[in-house]
């Protein structure tokens, strides 16, 4: 035992320190076993030293020392076993078993040949013999383990220190074999070179510990990761064939042994071929599974992307591009889900239509119309309650759904909020618009349990609100309006195909001065004589014409007729009669109307003093700055402007003062009660007096009785129009009944 103890301590320290610093892992276990190997060897050497040097007893005969010397072998064997167990999964077990059998058989042959067969060793049965045999077998196990490992390792992956450690282990095992050979042949002499060689493995282990740095394993390629570590490594065994041959040539091997060894290798190669094929197939299968997984993942990713894109598409297809509100398509889906999924639910459907939007669109152009819709939509969105959903279902049509809290008072509250929002001025440079909205309300399930019917009823109620409820602007659906609406739809259709020259005609109602009962003018009143329907009253079709946007065309036709008629009468009878022409607010809003009117006056050579434009009170109320200017411009043409139906609306006289107006036509509703109701008389008198103060002319409408004429004359009303003097008549009749009679002073 020649290795100095100080060197041992150094080696032990190196291995121990390295092991100590390792994290708890397989590697730590391996290195702990290496440490135990060296440590037990140290204890054995140390004990030897004490017996040999201090006690002067030959330690070779001490059984305990021999047992201690067996410990390193045991630890190395454990190391190999642990390594096997840990890596078993990485190896292909069939190939491993086959390799092991082959290696073991070859080793057995080699060891037998060299150590026992040629030397005629006789076995003793004493303990030392047995002990030496035991560790010889352990060595045999270690050697075959190392050989299998080398064959199975992927050498490219192997770190340097493992080579060093394996090399150390090999030296140890071969030294042991040599020792066993010496021992069995009684050739062993203590403290000879062989004892020095024994310390080499310990030194190599220490070097291994120094070299072993915690290096991360390089990332393997896909294939290497999946293939077992001992795949295709068995070809190294073929080298043995060469070794056998050399041994045979140098006469160390007999022909039989060469034959047996070669057979073993060939059998090994045969089974290897089968196993390798199986490995390859298994690998391909795994690869396929992995690729399938990869493919599945990719498909999953694509599907998710597609779902996302689809969601975005659905969102886009459910929304209106201009306003960002939900569209009609979504309304239908939404209604269906409400009706089908929650049949016990109740909700209100509010169908809303902007008033006169079409004419604004036609007059000011689509960009302005679009801006207006955007502004109004934003108002809707900003003020939408959480239980309400707003949809844009057509050009200027919106639907509001009220869910959950569907009682009358709540609906009223929402409706008034909407009306308020819609009536606020809309600023689109350089214009200021005022629009209104008509709202039809249908309730689920009270009014209808079917989606289409519910929408239809809300639409009908809206239509009714637009045409017949100009003050309140909203209407709850009830069955009685359904018939009425059907009639209105019918008229709408008839109006779109009306033959102007053959179906339209003007009636004229005379207007008399109250002081001397002389004829001062006529009011042109449109009549529609439909070939099948007969007479359709203007109060029925004019609001519809306004709504569907044909009023401009009708208005122009009326103006043309009225112009030629008044020209004809005034020129024929040398009169200066005025003709009152009703002008719808929608006509006034048309920016081209003024120019057209001016040109028409000039072309038809009409004296503007003959023309009086009758405009309803509502027009002036909703008037914007541009309407005020418009009134001025018409007045500048020389025509006069009358406010129709004055007193029924809400315009104050001071408000009227802002506009260039000539006449107030006092509404029939006031005149009707003037003789019976004192208060009405006071109102009418106040109107007349204030009009006089503002230099405005007054004309009373719907005068039917002499009593009314007397009162009106007394309070100073300038002119009278009504059945008392005459109903509206066709041109020839009016001419005969009023113009000619008036010329002849035949009137009352």
- Check binding of 509 to ligand C2E (CB under 6 A): yes
Nearer to ligand C2E (CB atom), residue 59 or residue 722: 722
Q: Which is closer to ligand C2E, CB of 371 or CB of 578?
A: 578
Judged by CB under 6 A, does residue 704 bind ligand C2E? yes
- Cβ proximity to ligand C2E, 211 vs 525, nearer residue: 525
Q: Is the dihedral of CA 599, 605, 609, 610 positive or negative?
A: negative
Which of 681, 728, 734, 739 contacts ligand C2E by CB under 6 A? 728
Helix (H, G, I), strand (E, B) or coil at 236: helix
Nearest to 513 by CA among 523, 502, 521: 521
- Judged by CB under 5 A, does residue 459 bind Ca ion? no
Q: Shortest gap between Cβ of 508 and Ca ion (angstroms)?
A: 12
Name the residue nearer to ligand C2E (CB basis): 60 or 525: 525
Confirm or reject binding of residue 582 to Ca ion (CB under 5 A).
yes
Q: Is 355 in the site for Ca ion (CB under 5 A)?
A: no
Can you read off the two tokens belonging to residue 714?
A: 């007394």
CA distances from 114 to 159, 262, 339 (A): 33, 18, 97
509 binds Ca ion (CB under 5 A): no
Q: Name residue, tokens 């934003």.
A: 378
Pick out residues in 14-33 that bind ligand C2E (CB under 6 A).
none
Residue 525 within binding range of ligand C2E, rule CB under 6 A:
yes
511 binds ligand C2E (CB under 6 A): no
* Contacting range for Ca ion; rule: CB under 5 A; set: 43-51, 427-435, 577-585, 650-658: 577-585
Cα(697)–Cα(667) distance, rounded to whole angstroms?
14
Q: Per CB under 6 A, which of residues 356..375 are in contact with ligand C2E?
A: none
How large is the C-alpha radius of gyration of the chain? 58
723 lines the binding site for ligand C2E (CB under 6 A): yes
Which of Ca ion, ligand C2E, none does residue 558 bind to, with CB < 5 to 8 Å depending on kind?
Answer: ligand C2E
Binding status of residue 619 toward ligand C2E by CB under 6 A: no
Q: Is residue 649 near ligand C2E by the rule CB under 6 A?
A: no
- Buried b / exposed e across 399-437, counting CB within 10 Å, b at 16+? bbbbbebbeeeebeebbeebbeebeeebebeebebbbbb
Site track 200-219 with Ca ion (rule: CB under 5 A), x = hit: --------------------
d(CA 726, CA 734): 9
* Under 8 Å between Cβ of 710 and 720: no
How far is the C-alpha of 378 from the C-alpha of 350, rounded, in Å? 18
Q: Which long-range contacts (CB under 8 A, 24 or more apart) does 279-287 make?
A: 279/92, 279/95, 279/227, 279/228, 279/231, 283/223, 283/226, 283/227, 283/231, 286/226, 287/222, 287/223, 287/226
Rounded distance between C-alpha atoms, residue 296 and residue 302, angstroms = 10
Three-state SS letters, 577-592? CEEEEEECHHHHHCCC
199 binds, among ligand C2E, Ca ion, none (CB under 5 to 8 A by kind): none
Of 195, 644, 719, 735, the one binding ligand C2E (CB under 6 A) is: 644
Residue 543 binding: pick among ligand C2E, Ca ion, none (C-beta 5-8 Å cut-off by kind):
none
Q: Answer yes or no: are the C-beta atoms of 488 and 473 closer than 8 Å.
A: no
How many residues of this chain bind ligand C2E (CB under 6 A)? Answer: 21
Whose Cβ is closer to ligand C2E: residue 589's or residue 614's? Answer: 614
Helical residues (DSSP H) of 250-356, grouped into ranges: 255-317, 328-341
β-sheet bridge partners, residue 1: none
> How near is the Cβ of 582 to Ca ion at its closest, in Å?
5
What 268-271 contacts at long range (C-beta under 8 Å, 24+ apart), as own/partner pairs, is 268/98, 268/99, 268/102, 268/234, 268/237, 269/234, 269/237, 269/238, 271/98
Residue 542 partner contact from Ca ion, ligand C2E, none using kind-dependent CB cut-offs of 5 to 8 Å: ligand C2E
Position 549 contacts ligand C2E (CB under 6 A): no
Q: Can you give 62-94 as a three-state secondary structure string?
A: CHHHHHHHHHHHHHHHHHHHHHHHHHCCCCCHH
38 or 619, CB closer to ligand C2E? 619
92 binds Ca ion (CB under 5 A): no
- Candidates 60-68, 271-279, 476-484, 533-541: pick the segment binding ligand C2E (CB under 6 A): 533-541
- Out of 92, 389, 488, 584, point to the residue binding ligand C2E (CB under 6 A): 584
Q: Which does 537 bind (CB under 5 to 8 A by kind): Ca ion, ligand C2E, none?
A: ligand C2E
645 binds ligand C2E (CB under 6 A): yes
Nearer to Ca ion, 589 or 614 (CB): 614
Which parts of 587-616 interact with Ca ion (CB under 5 A)? 614
- φ and ψ at residue 324, rounded to 5 degrees: 80, 5
Query: 3-state DSSP call for residue 349?
Result: strand
Contact flag: residue 737 with ligand C2E (CB under 6 A): no
Cα 575 from Cα 137, distance rounded (Å): 147
Residues 673-702 interacting with ligand C2E (rule: CB under 6 A): 701-702
Given 3-state DSSP classes, what are the helix, strand and coil percentages for the chain, each rounded to the nearest 5? Answer: 65, 15, 25
Nearest CA to 701 among 437, 530, 521, 529?
A: 521
Residue 539 touches ligand C2E, criterion: CB under 6 A = yes
User: Per CB under 6 A, does 505 bind ligand C2E?
Assistant: no
DSSP string computed for 427-464:
EETTEEE---EEEEEEEETTT-SSHHHHHHHHHHHHHH
According to the binding rule CB under 6 A, does residue 526 interact with ligand C2E? Answer: yes
Give me the residue label for tokens 């006449």.
663
**Residue 459 lies near ligand C2E (rule: CB under 6 A):** no
Q: For the CB of residue 425, give the shortest distance to ligand C2E in the complex, in Å.
A: 25
Does residue 582 interact with ligand C2E by CB under 6 A? Answer: yes
Judged by CB under 5 A, the stretch of 148-156, 471-479, 580-588, 676-684 that binds Ca ion is 580-588
Answer yes or no whether residue 644 interacts with Ca ion by CB under 5 A. yes
CB 640 within 8 A of CB 663: yes
Query: Which positions lie near ligand C2E, rule CB under 6 A?
Result: 509, 525-526, 537-539, 542, 555, 558, 582, 584, 614, 644-645, 701-704, 722-723, 728
Query: Which positions lie near Ca ion, rule CB under 5 A?
Result: 582, 614, 644
């Amino acid at each position: 035992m020649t290795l100095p103890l100080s060197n041992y301590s150094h080696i032990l320290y190196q291995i121990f320190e390295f092991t100590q610093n390792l994290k708890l892992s397989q590697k730590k276990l391996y290195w702990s076993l290496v440490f135990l190997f060296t440590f037990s060897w140290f204890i054995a050497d140390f004990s030897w030293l004490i017996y040999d040097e201090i006690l002067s007893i030959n330690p070779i005969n001490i059984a305990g020392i021999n047992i201690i010397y067996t410990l390193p072998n045991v630890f190395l064997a454990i190391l190999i076993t642990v390594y096997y167990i840990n890596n078993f999964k990485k190896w292909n077990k069939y190939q491993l078993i086959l390799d092991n059998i082959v290696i073991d058989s070859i080793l057995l042959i080699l060891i037998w040949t060299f150590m026992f067969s040629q030397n005629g060793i006789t076995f003793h049965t004493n303990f030392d013999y047995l002990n030496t045999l035991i560790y010889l077998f352990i060595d045999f196990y270690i050697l075959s383990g190392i050989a299998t490992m080398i064959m199975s390792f992927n050498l490219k992956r192997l770190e340097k220190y493992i080579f060093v450690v394996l090399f150390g282990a090999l030296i140890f095992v071969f030294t042991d074999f040599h020792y066993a050979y010496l021992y069995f042949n009684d050739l062993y002499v203590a403290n000879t070179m062989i004892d020095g060689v024994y310390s080499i493995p310990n030194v190599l282990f220490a070097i291994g510990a120094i070299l072993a740095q915690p290096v991360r394993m390089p990332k393997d390629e896909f294939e290497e990761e999946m293939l077992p570590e001992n795949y295709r490594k068995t070809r190294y065994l073929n080298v043995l064939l060469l070794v056998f041959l050399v041994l045979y040539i140098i006469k160390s091997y007999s022909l039989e042994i060469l034959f047996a060894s070669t057979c073993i290798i060939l059998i090994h190669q045969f089974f290897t071929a089968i196993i390798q094929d199986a490995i390859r197939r298994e690998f391909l299968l795994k690869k396929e599974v992995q690729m399938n997984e990869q493919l599945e993942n990719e498909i999953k990713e694509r599907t998710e992307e597609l779902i996302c894109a689809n969601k975005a598409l659905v969102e886009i297809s459910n929304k209106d591009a201009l306003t960002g509100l939900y569209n009609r398509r979504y309304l239908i889906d939404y209604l269906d889900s409400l009706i089908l999924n929650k049949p016990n639910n109740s909700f209100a459907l509010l169908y809303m239509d902007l008033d006169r939007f079409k004419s604004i669109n036609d007059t000011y152009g689509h960009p302005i119309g679009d801006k207006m819709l955007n502004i109004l939509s934003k108002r809707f969105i900003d003020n939408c309650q959480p239980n309400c959903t707003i949809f844009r279902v057509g050009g200027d049509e919106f639907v509001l759904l009220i869910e959950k809290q569907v009682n009358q008072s709540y609906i009223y509250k929402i409706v008034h909020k909407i009306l308020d929002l819609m009536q606020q001025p809309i600023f689109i440079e350089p214009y200021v618009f005022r629009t209104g909205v008509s709202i039809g309300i249908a309730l689920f399930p009270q009014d209808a349990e079917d989606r289409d019917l519910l929408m239809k009823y809300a639409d009908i109620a809206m239509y009714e609100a637009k045409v017949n409820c100009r003050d309140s602007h909203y209407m709850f659906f009830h069955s009685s309006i359904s018939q009425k609406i059907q009639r209105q739809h019918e008229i709408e259709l008839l109006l779109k195909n009306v033959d102007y020259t053959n179906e339209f005609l003007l009636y004229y109602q005379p207007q008399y001065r109250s002081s001397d009962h002389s004829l001062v003018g006529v009011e042109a009143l449109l009549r529609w004589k439909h070939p099948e329907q007969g007479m359709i009253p203007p109060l029925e079709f004019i609001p519809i014409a306004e709504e569907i946007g044909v009023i401009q065309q009708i208005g122009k036709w009326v103006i043309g007729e009225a112009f030629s008629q008044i020209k004809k009468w005034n020129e024929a009878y040398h009169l200066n009669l005025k003709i009152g022409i009703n002008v719808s607010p929608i006509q006034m809003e048309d920016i081209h109307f003024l120019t057209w009117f001016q040109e028409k006056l000039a072309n038809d050579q009409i004296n503007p003093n003959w023309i009086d434009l009758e405009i309803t009170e509502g027009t002036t109320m909703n008037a914007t700055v541009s309407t005020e200017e418009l009134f001025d411009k018409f007045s500048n043409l020389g025509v006069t402007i009358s406010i129709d139906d004055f007193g029924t609306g809400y315009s104050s006289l001071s408000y009227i003062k802002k506009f260039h107006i000539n006449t107030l036509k006092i509404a029939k509703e006031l005149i009707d009660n003037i003789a019976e109701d004192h208060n009405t008389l006071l109102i009418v008198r106040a109107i007349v007096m204030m009009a006089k103060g503002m230099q405005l002319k007054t004309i009373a409408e719907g005068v039917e009785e002499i009593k009314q004429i007397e009162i009106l004359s007394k309070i100073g009303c300038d002119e009278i129009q009504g059945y008392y003097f005459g109903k509206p008549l066709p041109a020839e009749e009016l001419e005969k009944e009023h113009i000619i009679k008036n010329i002849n002073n035949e009137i009352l």
